[in-house]
Amino acid sequence: MRLDEKYLNGLMIAGLLALPLWAVMADQPFTITLVTRAVILALAAVGLNIVLGIGGMVSFGHAVFFGIGGYAMGILAFHAQTYTALELGLFTTDGTKFMPVIWLVAMITSGLVAFFIGLLSLRTSGVYFIMITLAFGQMFFYFAISWAQYGGEDGLSIYVRNDFPGLNTLIPIQFYAICFTLLCVVLFLFARLQASPFGLALNAARQAGTRVETVGLNPMRLKLLAFVISGAITGLAGALFADLNRFVSPTMFSWQLSGELIVLIIIGGVGRLMGPVIGACVFVALEHFLGELTDFWHVYLGVILLCIVLFGRGGLIGLLTGKEGAHV
Amino acid sequence: MKKFLTAAAFSALCATGALAEVKVGMITTLSGGGAGLGIDVRDGFMLAIAQSGRDDIEVVIEDDQRKPDIAVQLSDKMIQSERVDVMTGIIWSNLAMAVVPAAVNQNVFYLSPNAGPSPLAGKGCHQNYFNVAWQNDNLHEAAGAYANGADYKKSFIMAPNYPAGVDALTGYKRFFEGELAGEVYTELGQTDYAAEIAQIRASDADSVFFFLPGGMGISFLKQYADSGIDLPVVGPAFSFDQGILQAVGDAAMGVVNTSQWNKDIDNPTNTAFVESFQAEYGRLPSLYASQGFDTANLLLSALDKADPSDADAFREALRAAEFDSTRGDFSFGPNHHPVQTIYAREVIKEGDVFTNKILGVALENHSDAYAAECKM
Amino acid sequence: MSSILIIEQILNGLQFGVMLFLMAAGLTLIFGVMGLINLAHGSLYMIGAFAAAAVAGVTGSFLLALIAALAAAALAGAIVEMVVIRRLYSAPHLDQVLATFALILIFSEGTRWLFGSFPLFLDIPDALSGPVTLPGGIEYPFYRLTLIGIGLAVAVGLWALIERTRLGIQIRAGENDREMIAALGVDISKLYTLVFALGAALAGLAGALVGAIQSVQVGMGEPVLILAFVVIVIGGIGSVRGALIGALLVGLTDTLGGVFLPELFKLFMENGAAQKTGSALASMGIYVLMGLVLIWRPTGLFGARA
Amino acid sequence: MSDPVLATLNLNKSFGALKATDNVSIDLKPGEIHAIIGPNGAGKSTLIQQICGGLRPDSGQVLLCGQDVSGHSTQARAQAGLGRTFQISQLCMEDTVLENAILGAMGAEGLAWRFWQPALKRPELRDRAEAALERVGLSDDRDICCANLSHGQRRQLEVAVALTLSPRVFVMDEPMAGLGAGGSKRLTGFLDGLRVEAPILLVEHDMDAVFALADRISVLVYGKVIATGTADEIRASTEVRDAYLGDAA
């Protein structure tokens, strides 16, 4: 049976609406937490999907932006909760616990960092690109570990979730509503972007860089902008993830996390709108249920991933709709 | 196969949950690197629960994979879905910092079987948080005290560059009265210590103190033993514990390390614990196993007196700490951290097995440096 | 800081470098010949160390342990190549990354299931233990000198293999033109299995040799893997010569950076703070080195120009 | 005589000891088709690369409409009016025919930096792309995925993408390669009509097409232009004959 991708996408969104609502009624708050985790990881991977799926850049260092988003939240909220001033050279602030401001800071900072990393990394391609992005990830990881002011390896605990006007973010379903709404907004933007002239050009840059040049467009600039947008979205996800856990630590910068984000996309389907979403849901479910079965659940996760690569070209969406994913 | 059997035994235990009146949530590291510590804590804890014969205690065990974000989510699960009364099990300080403050603020009791980060002992202490193991600095402080007793004048000290490492060197310096021949922060997870060993050789130190948990310590000790430097080495128990010692081998022989527990501490509880642990799991218990065992017994002693639903009474019962500890005397200080004796041990070989023997007391009835900052 | 100490640190950097070379050589060969990114190379290193520890534990012989390490890693490599890897040669890099990432999970937890969660014991053989005195009065562990020797011997051996033997000709041909070696009548799939097993054996050898002075435990392969990748990226992927130069550069940068950066900061900072800042920067050192090399030469020092 | 639209002046390029382009000066006048022929390895591709911006010459100039573009990037030259087709199709194989043409239209309209309205729904892009497809006869196949096109259709699409740019000059690298006799004939007819729109610099192996189309022919051997002239002049040139025969022998 072949499913139309549109129906599949609709089904997925409906599921993400229905499951938490069911969990509220059945009084299963942890289910909401799990779905929130999946939604935030999906958001991060949607960001990655812009460079990976559309632009064909295999970034093995996207945890950098996830971590920067997390630390943006952690640092701002830390100063707000301890009433200490945060000196930023020209001006001083007391931090903030107001989510929209935190998101903005997270997105701007990670976008800026993405600009510089992209500027340097895009000089390379192929395996070298994979490795130089990994190297940037490692630099940030080690930096965060030894950044004693903000907890170093211990990380930063934010005791109370940050505020959003009109909502009590401590209630799982309300926090979920925020994350879900942001995911929907970003998915919508992703869809627009993918179909827009920019998306088309970026997609072309992945498949035939020379072609893009010969029609008078600069693939480097296309890719760099994509990298910045992607970094900002992943940064936003990082800020939400930190708020979900009320905690930030250097593990948000780890190369395993970069790897996991890639895995999410491949499970779902590279370059597909809902690929990261499906991937994240499946991944979180696997992590949760396999973990209950055995201490050695990583073995099974490995086998499943292997099967997806070897037999499931195009990820789960590819399997269900019969379409192959983007070639990277 | 043994592991699966015990896991099955646990789930059988959990299955009796229908009758359970008290629910305990254990978040600990059971997979990936560092799983050995979590497994020991879990086994020690479950041994005590099984020996108590109580079937009204349900223990929910979850694996945090040593990832803080996973630990936080499991903690949410324990509190929101499982509605546990008491939580325990976390091995690592960074995970504890991620989980404990939020958990105790939601009126759950937390009994720490291993990690004791300084914020939780000082300004961030909480009436529902009890540490059954040690404050992080304790064993390092004891090492400093031991170094004074051994008449060391000039120590070369080193630890990884992360908060617990910084705390370790601070703890040692707090008690050590001699000078420092060198102070080095290594990279976390570093496996080659040739450069540091060369620095030790070039220094005029008369002793070496190091805190390098897990594989880092194994690597350092093997390389140090091979370097031909024969300065005495002192360290906290973590690199000389039962689980890890066999991997260090001869390189650890004779090294002095500090610990609040050893299998030869002479009291009936400890003797029985060591015997029954060996009988049940077929290996010698480790420090972590003893901590898990003591944590469970503290919990059991409090449950005998009060129900967790009566939080005040239950807290009082915990604070009284009227249980037979494997360490002998045990009581809580004002910040709910142990006041206990810390020993200096020496690594010896019993037959084919490397283990520790108590040399003497390093610090008697020792509390911690942060208790004064705790306003409960 | 005395010159003795500096020489000793340089030796340490060299020793670290040649061990990295053993890892990196296999990685770069596999990429050069088959075009495959193998993240699971670190697992083969771990397998080598575990096999050595297990055999040394039973027989007490370090030599047998080394042979076991080579054999186990080569065998594991060959099996993995035949079952999984050969389906990935034509796959995009992305699939290779994911599949070999999956292999890491399987190998790591599988090893833990077999050997338990605690580190294993593997010690330096008595004949090689203890320090020797070098000219100039430098005391240096004999085992580490041996490691430098073995590493350099392997480098020479690899060079001879690639430049002087029939297999080497096939390998070089494979790097340049896959269709050509098929035309030469070489059984490609056999060649690929052989190259993969060779790379695996080198990684296993490194695991066993290093395992004797470090801890043999699950997950020991990943940090080395990342370093080995840094090495081959600096050296230029596919180039064995590049791997050697890159490995030595990384080894020296890491060792000397860790020693000298804190000293440098002590000139204008308080002792403890200098230590912390210096070692924090040192831990980033090799990644900074890699970034600089790639910005300067986007395909590494000896990589094929695009 | 009008000024050339495209010209190279004393272009030189070496790879080590090999001189791939040796003091090449050619030009292309409005309304003409100038073909470049030569045996394999004569340096035709290297020359095209230097004209289009893929390779930087060691010395010499490339003039586009009288302007020196030697230091310009590929995309700057494209913007200045250089439309190119490739010997090996450079198309986005996962995209549809229309999307490939739209990409060209985007370059022409300078509309790549728009993020909101779908590219396929912008009338200016669509009209331009459809018009180009119409001219090469691919209109009915506009929604087919490029990967499913036949070889001939891909060559047609290559030309269509170049058309969307409305260039001032075409540079075509073996557009007939791999086409059957019928396909070659049709494309020959099409290019014949195209020259009034913009002149064509044509590199081609298909001699029938070359002699049928070219107003002038230059012969490139070992990186050097050994002869330039009309079809008849080239046919009559002994030098050219020697070069080809010598090469064959």
Closest in A33, A252, A295 to B30, CB measured: A295
Tokens of B97: 């910092």
Range of the domain at C116: 10-220
CB pairs < 8 Å spanning A and C? 132
First to last CA, chain A: 27
pLDDT tens track for C78-92: 999 999 998 888 888
Q: Provide CATH 3.40.50.300 ranges for chain D.
A: 1-81+169-249
Nearest-10 Cα torsion for D208, D210, D216, D219: -100
Residue C299 has φ and ψ, to the nearest 5°, of -115, 30
Q: Give the CB-side neighbour count of residue A60, counting CA atoms within 13 A.
A: 25
Higher pLDDT: C18 or C98? It is C18
**Residue at C93 is within a domain:** yes
Q: Which of B196, B197, B226, B227 to mutate to test the interface with C (most CBs of C within 10 A)?
A: B226
Q: Which long-range contacts (CB under 8 A, 24 or more apart) does B273-280 make?
A: B273/B47, B273/B326, B276/B47, B276/B51, B277/B43, B277/B44, B277/B47, B280/B43, B280/B47
Specify the pLDDT at position C184: 67
C178 pLDDT tier (thresholds 50, 70, 90): low
pLDDT tens track for A193-212: 999 999 999 999 999 888 99
- Asked whether the beta carbons of residue D122 and residue A197 sit closer than 8 angstroms, the reply is yes
Report the chain D residue with the minimal C-alpha distance to residue A271. Answer: D94
Please check whether residue D145 touches A, CB under 8 A.
no
Specify the pLDDT at position C171: 78
Q: Length of chain D in residues, anyone?
A: 249
- Asked whether the beta carbons of residue A127 and residue C37 sit closer than 8 angstroms, the reply is yes
- Among C10, C145, A65, C225, smallest CA distance to B189 is for C225
The amino acid occupying position D61 is Q
Of A232-246, B4-18, D123-137, the least confident: B4-18
Report the chain A residue with the minimal C-alpha distance to residue D51. Answer: A214
Q: Which of A171, A283, A295, A301 to mutate to test the interface with B (most CBs of B within 10 A)?
A: A295
Distance between CA atoms of residues C46 and D62, nearest Å: 58
Q: Which D-chain residues 20-49 have CB contacts (< 8 A) with chain A?
A: none
- Asked whether the beta carbons of residue B163 and residue A151 sit closer than 8 angstroms, the reply is yes
Specify the pLDDT at position C181: 66
pLDDT mean for each 10 residues of chain B (376 residues): 40 45 91 81 95 91 86 88 92 88 90 91 92 93 94 93 85 94 85 89 93 86 89 91 85 92 92 95 92 96 92 94 92 94 93 91 91 88
Specify the pLDDT at position A116: 94
- Asked whether the beta carbons of residue D119 and residue A199 sit closer than 8 angstroms, the reply is yes
Please check whether residue C151 touches B, CB under 8 A.
no
Specify the pLDDT at position B20: 54
In the three-class reduction of DSSP (H, G, I as helix; E, B as strand; rest coil), residue B348 is classed as: strand
Distance between CA atoms of residues B52 and B34, nearest Å: 28
The CATH number for A5-321, chosen from 3.30.160, 3.40.50, 1.10.3470, 1.10.287, is 1.10.3470
Distance between CA atoms of residues D183 and D161, nearest Å: 18
**Residue at C122 is within a domain:** yes
Specify the pLDDT at position C305: 55
C165 pLDDT tier (thresholds 50, 70, 90): confident
Q: Are B231 and C49 in contact (CB under 8 A)?
A: no
Number of domains in chain C: 1
Specify the pLDDT at position C179: 66
Tokens of A177: 């509503």
Closest in A136, A143, A327 to C92, CB measured: A327
Distance between CA atoms of residues A204 and D75, nearest Å: 14
Q: Are B113 and B88 in contact (CB under 8 A)?
A: yes
Alpha carbon C81 to its chain's center: 19
pLDDT tens track for D148-161: 998 888 988 999 99
Distance between CA atoms of residues B298 and B133, nearest Å: 11
CA angle C210, C216, C219 (to 5 degrees): 105
- Among C20, C75, C27, smallest CA distance to C51 is for C75
pLDDT tens track for A84-141: 888 777 778 888 889 999 999 999 999 999 999 999 899 888 888 988 898 899 889 9
DSSP state of B81: I
Please check whether residue A143 touches B, CB under 8 A.
no
Q: Which of A213, A220, A233, A328 to mutate to test the interface with D (most CBs of D within 10 A)?
A: A213
The domain ranges of chain A are: 5-321
Of A310-319, C195-204, C284-293, D18-27, the least confident: A310-319
Distance between CA atoms of residues A160 and D78, nearest Å: 56
Q: Which of A196, A215, A218, A229 to mutate to test the interface with D (most CBs of D within 10 A)?
A: A215
Report the chain A residue with the minimal C-alpha distance to residue C231. Answer: A131
Give every CB contact of residue D199 below 8 A, 6+ residues apart in sequence: D5, D6, D28, D29, D30, D31, D32, D33, D34, D169, D170
pLDDT tens track for D183-212: 888 889 999 999 888 999 999 888 888 989
Tokens of B53: 């014969």
Of A69-83, C60-74, C184-198, D194-208, the least confident: C184-198
Of A174-178, B335-339, D12-16, the least confident: D12-16
CATH number for the domain running over D1-81+169-249: 3.40.50.300
Closest in D53, D73, D90 to A211, CB measured: D90
Considering only CB atoms, which residues of chain A are within 8 Å of chain C?
Answer: 52, 58, 60, 120, 123-128, 130-132, 134-136, 138-139, 142-143, 145-148, 255, 259, 262-263, 266, 270, 296-299, 301-306, 308-310, 327-328
How far is CA B334 from each of CA A267, B122, B337, rounded to the nearest angstrom? 52, 10, 7
Q: Which of D52, D87, D91, D116 to mutate to test the interface with A (most CBs of A within 10 A)?
A: D116
Closest in A154, A246, A249 to B117, CB measured: A154
Specify the pLDDT at position B14: 46
- Asked whether the beta carbons of residue C229 and residue A128 sit closer than 8 angstroms, the reply is no
Report the chain C residue with the minimal C-alpha distance to residue A302. Answer: C102
D248 pLDDT tier (thresholds 50, 70, 90): very low
Give every CB contact of residue A234 below 8 A, 6+ residues apart in sequence: A44, A47, A48, A62, A65, A66, A69, A110, A261
C177 pLDDT tier (thresholds 50, 70, 90): low
Domains and CATH numbers, chain B: 2-115+266-326 (3.40.50.2300), 138-262+342-373 (3.40.50.2300)
pLDDT tens track for D50-88: 999 888 899 999 999 888 998 899 999 999 999 999 988
Please check whether residue C130 touches B, CB under 8 A.
yes
- Asked whether the beta carbons of residue B67 and residue A37 sit closer than 8 angstroms, the reply is no
**Residue at C247 is within a domain:** no
Instruction: Verify D-B touch: 3 or more CB pairs within 8 A.
Output: no
Tokens of D218: 């230059």
Whole-complex ipTM: 0.82
Closest in A58, A299, A303 to C94, CB measured: A58
Q: Which of A186, A211, A218 to mutate to test the interface with D (most CBs of D within 10 A)?
A: A211
Please check whether residue B191 touches C, CB under 8 A.
yes
CA distance C164 to chain B (A): 35
Report the chain B residue with the minimal C-alpha distance to residue A37. Answer: B73
Whether the predicted pLDDT of A328 surpasses 80: no
Q: Give the CB-side neighbour count of residue C67, counting CA atoms within 13 A.
A: 6
How far is CA D43 from each of CA D24, D38, D47, D154, rounded to the nearest angstrom? 10, 8, 6, 25
Which chains touch C (3+ CB pairs under 8 A)? A, B
Rg, C-alpha atoms of chain B: 20
Specify the pLDDT at position A2: 64
Residues from chain C contacting residue A132 (CB–CB below 8 Å):
233, 290-291, 294
The amino acid occupying position D3 is D
Closest in A135, A148, A328 to C290, CB measured: A135
Residues from chain C contacting residue A302 (CB–CB below 8 Å):
102-106, 109
Distance between CA atoms of residues D92 and C29, nearest Å: 32
**Residue at C168 is within a domain:** yes
The amino acid occupying position B241 is D
- Asked whether the beta carbons of residue D107 and residue A215 sit closer than 8 angstroms, the reply is yes
Residues from chain B contacting residue C276 (CB–CB below 8 Å):
161, 166, 185
Residues from chain D contacting residue A212 (CB–CB below 8 Å):
75, 103
CA angle B217, B220, B222 (to 5 degrees): 105
- Asked whether the beta carbons of residue A155 and residue B101 sit closer than 8 angstroms, the reply is no
Closest in C1, C118, C271 to B244, CB measured: C118
Average model confidence (pLDDT) across chain A: 90
Specify the pLDDT at position A77: 92
Specify the pLDDT at position B13: 46
